[in-house]
Amino acid sequence: MGIVIAIVIFGLIVTVHEFGHFICAKLSGIKVLEFSVGMGPKLLQKQKGETKYSLRALPLGGYCAMEAEDAANSDPRSFRNAKLWKRMVVLAAGPFMNFVLGFIAIIIFVCMMDGVPTTT
């Protein structure tokens, strides 16, 4: 049971992290080709608009594939053609969302405490 809980928590962390990249890319006008949670063969896939959403077999990570991340492209909505500040925001959004998730988790755990521990 502990392994299942660890996989679910890790999946949540990865999903929140990749969602940070995804939402900032979409709001910045950068074309997102695929949003995927997990690696390996696809278990589920859905195309909505220009973006494919997929759940993959191995819960070891995920990715948010944007247009022309690794190669030059003439598409004005590609990652490489976006302004520098937009690219920086998209790249920083994933780690930022991990901090947000941690903050929310701390608030939840503190609210679940029965009493206030004291030294007296």
Q: How far apart are CA 103 and CA 82, in angstroms?
A: 30
For the annotated catalytic residues, the residue numbers are 18
Residue 24: closest CA among 81, 82, 75, 91:
91
Residue 28: closest CA among 82, 64, 92:
82
